[in-house]
């Protein structure tokens, strides 16, 4: 690659906002899908972080990708395919234990297998290349009406279930023994949450792609937890961060030839960096040092 | 609690526990009165934790009965408060100290966690009682092990239990914090009238507060006041080998087969 070839890729190739109004009308469905996804991802993310499950999210996403790729090859509905993949993964992980630590190696074994399977399906598929790429890195204009309806149905199921389960789920996530002693059905909640996680991942794969699901299901919650520990504020902030990432990323991607995912992940990452900075300013290093000294003293 | 006066907070009758083919204890009769503090001592593997699991309804007795405040032990009995071993909470836990304590009040209820004035009042009272008001609004995951353990005590009493179970709550705490947490449990049972079953392998922090001691060792047990049980004669006959109980400056040292109250069982098996 020579310097002149690089220079040929100019700013205007990446960004072109000349027909923005017309584009906006075309992607209305995608914006709605993104908002739904942000709402679900932001809430699910809080529990994912509390249960220490980011690795399980990644594993679920790869199997969801395999499911979607398989559906593409067979010519059946891609959403249904990725749902089957992620629900299967979530149930498998859920059966393997309550906490991430207990089954990280199992996820590490299943994840590359899922990814390999997906790549195989895509290699065999002879349709449009954009469809192939979309499952991994996300797509933007692809959300049609029936797809939006199916996303809305999944989102509603996940949101209602989360609202009902929220308090005992949080309790069981951070202190399973005490929660069980207080009558929380800890062993039931684990697979149920994994199922909800599977549904959320399948939704996210449609928009940001399998490789970058973490940007929606982990980063916003992790950012929120940097600036607050209030159980009321953290879910709200996490949802706001996730919605801003997806909708903002979509709007930026509109005038661009690059897929949607780099925009979403960049916005999401910048929010995270901002939150770290805010936390740093509010909690100067001296305070953090005192906290570390206390922790050592107690050990 | 709404239990008839005179009903023991915990009643065991002819209780027998076995693990695999190995009998841990048998013929255990024990009544713990409301407000009474019973320390459960003994070597690792003597069946201290199994006893707690039986009371929590997580494990069945091989024989005998167990009743909590007049009703057979069952899973998720909210008349029991439970203080587990100290384990550091994740710094990213989405709760402040006060929210963590509140889970002991209504954490089992379905639905979202919403602000509640009634819960707040109750939590404020308990936070003050354990001396945690100063860090009530701090992220719980950033507090020290000693502070977190105080909050666990608060969490276990906020629901006004009839029986408080403490499962090695002093593990990994330094002597200063271990003493403070035990004093806290004692103050809470005096305030609320909850009975306490306090499992520990560290004798000294609990002896000043224990009304009675249940000492488990080698398939046998002794119940009595600390002065009755913590003697060379009683423990020697319990272990079936010479044990010396030394007292110095208000501290008790168990030496010999049980030294330092660890693995006397292994010794017996080796012989």
pLDDT exceeds cutoff 60 at B12: yes
Chains A, B: CB contacts within 8 A come to 125
A226 neighbors B91 (Cβ within 8 angstroms): no
Phi-psi group of B139: left, alpha or beta (phi > 0 → left; psi -120 to 50 → alpha; rest → beta): beta
Interchain CB distance below 8 Å, A181 and B155? no
Within-domain flag for A299: no
Rounded to an integer, what distance in angstroms lies between the CA atom of residue B64 and that of residue B69? 17
Our count of domains for chain A comes to 1
Which homologous superfamily does the CATH classification assign to the domain defined by B10-270? Answer: P-loop containing nucleotide triphosphate hydrolases (3.40.50.300)
Q: In CATH, what number is assigned to the domain containing residue A91?
A: 1.10.3470.10
For B50-77, write each residue's pLDDT tens digit: 999 999 999 999 999 999 999 999 999 9
pTM: 0.86
Give pLDDT tens digits for B95-109: 999 999 999 999 999
The CA distance from A221 to A46, in Å, is 5
Return the residue matching tokens 């906290």.
A291
Q: Residue A261: what pLDDT? A: 84
Task: Give contacts of B152 with chain A, Cβ < 8 Å.
Answer: 178
How many C-beta atoms surround the C-beta of residue B19 within 10 A? 12
Nearest neighbour of A294 by CB, restricted to B82, B144, B152: B144
**A13 part of a folded domain:** no
A296 to chain B, any CB pair closer than 8 A? The answer is no
Cα(B239)–Cα(B52) distance, rounded to whole angstroms? 22
Question: Between chains, do B82 and A177 touch, taking CB under 8 Å as contact?
Answer: yes
Does residue A261 belong to any structural domain of this protein? yes
Are B95 and A168 an interchain contact pair (Cβ–Cβ within 8 Å)? no
Task: Label residue B39 left, alpha or beta by phi (over 0 means left) and psi (-120 to 50 means alpha).
Answer: beta
Whole-number pLDDT of residue B74? 94
Q: What are the tens digits of pLDDT across the range A47-56?
A: 999 988 888 8
Domain hosting residue A80, numbered range: 19-286
Q: Does the residue A30 lie in any domain?
A: yes
Q: Is residue A204 part of a domain?
A: yes
Q: Is B219 on the interface with A (CB under 8 A)?
A: no
Q: Do A49 and B58 touch (CB under 8 A)?
A: no
For residue A7, tell me if it sits in a domain.
Answer: no
Contacts of B179 (CB under 8 A, 6+ apart): B205
Where do we find the tokens 């109750």? B122
Euclidean distance between the first and the last CA atom of chain A, given in angstroms as a whole number:
55
B240 DSSP 8-state letter: T
Q: Which of residues 226-255 of A touch B (CB under 8 A)?
A: 229-232, 234-235
Task: Kindly report, residue by residue over A15-32, the tens digit of the pLDDT.
Answer: 667 777 777 777 788 889
Mean pLDDT, chain B, whole residue set: 88
Instruction: Report the distance separating Cα A168 and Cα A193, nearest Å.
Output: 11
Query: Which residue of chain B comes nearest to A177, CA vs CA?
Result: B84
Least confident of A88-92, B23-27, B117-121: A88-92
In sequence order, the 6+-apart residues with CB closer than 8 A to the CB of A199 are A83, A86, A87, A154, A157, A158
Is the Cβ pair A225, B89 closer than 8 Å? no
Nearest residue on chain B to A178, alpha-carbon basis: B82
Q: Give the ranges where chain B is alpha helix by DSSP (H).
A: 48-55, 97-106, 117-129, 145-157, 175-192, 203-206, 226-229, 232-239, 264-270
Q: Name the pLDDT band for A98 (thresholds 50, 70, 90).
A: low
Q: What is the pLDDT of residue A293?
A: 39
| Confidence check: pLDDT of B43 > 60 | yes
Q: Which of B94, B140, B172 sits opposite A234 (nearest CB)?
A: B94
Q: Length of chain A, please?
A: 299
Is there a contact between B84 and A180 if contact means CB atoms under 8 Å apart? no
Q: Could you tell me where the DSSP H helices lie in chain A?
A: 3-8, 11-14, 20-26, 28-50, 54-74, 78-96, 100-124, 129-137, 145-174, 176-181, 186-208, 214-217, 219-227, 233-254, 260-282, 285-298
Neighbours of B225 (CB within 10 A): 11
Contact A49 B78 (CB under 8 A): no
pLDDT higher than threshold 60 for residue A99: no
Which residue would you say has higher pLDDT here, A134 or A55? A55
CA distance linking residue A43 with residue A10, whole number of Å:
39
The end-to-end CA distance of chain B, in Å, is 49
Average pLDDT of the residues in B231-242: 88
CA angle B197, B200, B202 (to 5 degrees): 140
**Is the pLDDT score of A299 beyond 80?**
no
pLDDT at A8: 56
Question: Is residue A88 within 8 Å of residue A197, measured between CB atoms?
Answer: no
Structure tokens at A26: 């075309």
Distance CA B170, CA B184 (A): 12
Q: Among A16, A27, A33, A1, which Cα is nearest to A205's?
A: A33
- Dihedral sign from CA coordinates of A119, A120, A121, A122: positive
Which sequence spans correspond to the domains of chain B?
A: 10-270
Among A27-41, A179-193, B144-158, B239-253, the range scoring the smallest mean pLDDT is B239-253
Q: Is residue A79 part of a domain?
A: yes
């Amino acid at each position: 690659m020579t310097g002149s070839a690089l220079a040929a890729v100019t700013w205007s190739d990446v960004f072109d906002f000349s027909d923005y109004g017309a584009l906006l009308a075309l992607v209305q469905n995608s914006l709605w899908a993104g908002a739904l996804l942000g709402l679900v991802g932001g809430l699910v993310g809080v529990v994912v972080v509390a249960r220490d499950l980011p690795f399980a999210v990644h594993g679920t996403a790869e199997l969801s990708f395999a499911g979607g790729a398989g559906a593409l090859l067979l010519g059946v509905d891609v959403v249904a395919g990725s749902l089957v993949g992620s629900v299967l993964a979530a149930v498998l992980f859920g059966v393997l234990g309550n906490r991430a630590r207990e089954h990280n190696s199992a996820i590490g074994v299943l994840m590359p297998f899922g990814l390999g399977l997906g790549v195989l399906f895509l290699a065999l598929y002879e349709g449009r290349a954009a469809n192939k790429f979309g499952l991994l890195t996300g797509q933007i204009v692809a959300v049609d009406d029936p797809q939006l309806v199916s996303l809305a149905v999944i989102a509603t199921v996940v949101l209602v279930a989360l609202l009902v389960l929220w308090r005992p789920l949080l309790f069981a996530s951070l202190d399973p023994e005490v929660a069980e002693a207080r009558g929380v059905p800890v062993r039931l909640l684990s697979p149920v949450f994994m199922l909800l996680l599977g549904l959320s991942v399948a939704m996210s794969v449609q928009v940001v792609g399998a490789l970058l699901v973490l940007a929606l299901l982990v980063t916003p919650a992790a950012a929120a937890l940097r600036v607050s520990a209030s159980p009321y504020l953290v879910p709200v902030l996490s949802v706001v961060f996730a919605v801003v990432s997806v909708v903002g990323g979509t709007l930026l991607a509109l005038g661009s030839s690059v897929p949607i995912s780099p925009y979403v992940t960049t916005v999401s990452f910048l929010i995270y960096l901002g939150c770290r900075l805010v936390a740093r300013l509010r909690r100067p290093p001296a305070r953090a040092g005192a906290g570390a000294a206390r922790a050592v003293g107690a050990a | 609690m709404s239990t008839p006066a005179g009903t023991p907070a915990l009643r065991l009758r002819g209780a027998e526990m076995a693990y695999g083919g190995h009998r841990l204890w048998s013929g255990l009769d024990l009544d713990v009165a409301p407000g009474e503090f019973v320390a459960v001592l003994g070597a690792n593997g003597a069946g201290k934790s199994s006893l707690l699991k039986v009371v929590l309804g997580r494990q069945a007795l091989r024989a005998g009965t167990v009743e909590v405040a007049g009703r057979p032990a069952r899973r998720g009995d909210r008349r029991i408060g439970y203080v587990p071993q100290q384990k550091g909470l994740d710094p990213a836990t989405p709760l402040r100290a006060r929210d963590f304590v509140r889970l002991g009040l209504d954490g089992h209820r379905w639905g979202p966690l919403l602000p509640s004035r009634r819960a707040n009042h109750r939590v404020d009272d308990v936070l003050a009682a354990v001396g945690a008001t100063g860090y009530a609004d701090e992220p719980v995951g950033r507090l020290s092990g000693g502070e977190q353990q105080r909050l666990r005590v608060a969490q276990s009493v906020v629901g006004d239990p009839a029986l408080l179970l403490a499962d090695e709550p002093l593990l990994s705490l330094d002597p200063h914090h271990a003493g403070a947490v035990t004093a806290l449990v004692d103050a809470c049972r005096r305030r609320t009238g909850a009975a306490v079953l306090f499992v520990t392998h560290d004798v000294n922090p609990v002896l000043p507060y224990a009304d009675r001691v249940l000492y488990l060792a080698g398939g046998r047990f002794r119940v009595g006041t600390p002065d009755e049980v913590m003697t060379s004669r009683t423990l020697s006959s319990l272990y079936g080998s010479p044990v010396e109980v030394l007292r110095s400056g208000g501290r008790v040292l168990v030496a010999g087969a049980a030294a330092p109250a660890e693995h006397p069982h292994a010794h017996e098996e080796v012989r």
